[in-house]
Amino acid sequence: MPNFPKRTTFAIALDGHTQIADRRENGQLLRLEHVSRYFGALKALDDVSFEMSSGEVRAVIGQNGAGKTTFFNVVSGFLPATSGEIWFNGENISHRTVVGRVNRGIVRTFQITEVFPDLTVFESIRVAVEAADGVNGLPWVSRSTRRALDQRVVEIMAAVGLTNKAHRIAGELAHGDQRSVEVALALCRNPKLLLLDEPTAGMSDVETQQMVDLIGRLRKERGLSILFIEHDMDIVFEIADRITVLDYGHKIAEGLPEEISANQRVRDAYLGESA
């Protein structure tokens, strides 16, 4: 039987300690209570409960059709839950809109990269910064405000490693760099929780490692909580503090990477009954 990859020391390196920090010490950030989402007779999510602590890097895995994207859509507000409750930072957000959840700190990226294809990297991030600060609709802003906005753009470009590509057209960048631009646009909203939908999909090995490094920096330098969907098990077991496994809308396992790798039900769901 093929083995799941072993957990590496990457998460240890992020904190500079000899042991992985217990992120639960920082308090609960996100909680789903018996959440379901039905499409007619199809149960895309069925009675799923979930808890995530502040500061965690958390993975949601499962085969195609497991309910991962529906899970993200329900958390971010793109789809309402059919039943159950969603709590974020101590507030029941079950009936909050997408905008309401963004304003409270839940920001996501998508599986298909979304950037401003005709703008430079600097211009793209500047647009997002202006929107986040509420000045994009103003007919005039002061010189000091413009300087502050520009400085914010510079800081975000540095955070995602795009300083040397500031004047490149975003739509002409390599796929990995476009993904970094998308993360930069998300950072403009000052998220408390960043949802990444398959952040390394379609990337080369070099680009994948750059994204892994970026996720590490965002957690270490910004204390950002990150929830991600990923099919690459090497990446999942390398950077996730805990892993939640979905299968046909049900949560079938949850725990530390070493617990998930040893879980026979997870192995069966991924490898088939013959395994």
- Give, in order, the Cα–Cα distances in Å from 3 to each of 6, 63, 234, 251, 253: 8, 17, 11, 21, 17
Q: What is the mean pLDDT of residues 219-234?
A: 92
Are the C-beta atoms of residues 156 and 132 closer than 8 Å to each other? no
Per the model's pLDDT, the better-predicted residue between 269 and 173 turns out to be 173
Give the tens place of pLDDT for each residue, 167-191.
999 999 999 999 999 999 999 999 9
Contacts of 97 (CB under 8 A, 6+ apart): 77
Question: How many helices and strands, by DSSP H and E, does the chain display?
Answer: 10, 10
Are the C-beta atoms of residues 8 and 14 closer than 8 Å to each other? no
Beta-bridge partner residues of 87: 31, 92
Rounded CA separation 244/255 (Å): 7
Please list the alpha-helical segments (H only) found in 134-232: 143-160, 175-187, 205-222
Q: Give the start-to-end residue ranges of the domains of the chain.
A: 1-105+192-275, 114-190
Q: What is the mean pLDDT of residues 44-68?
A: 95
Q: Confidence class of residue 23 from pLDDT cuts 50, 70 and 90?
A: very low
Rounded CA separation 71/50 (Å): 10
Give the tens place of pLDDT for each residue, 120-168.
999 999 999 998 888 877 677 788 888 999 999 999 999 999 999 999 9
Angle between helices 175-187 and 205-222 (to 10 degrees): 20
Which pLDDT belongs to residue 111?
65
Instruction: Specify the length of the chain in residues.
Output: 275
Rounded CA separation 254/260 (Å): 7
Share of the chain above pLDDT 70, in %: 87
Which pLDDT belongs to residue 271?
55
- Residue 113 pLDDT > 50: yes
Class of domain 1-105+192-275: alpha beta
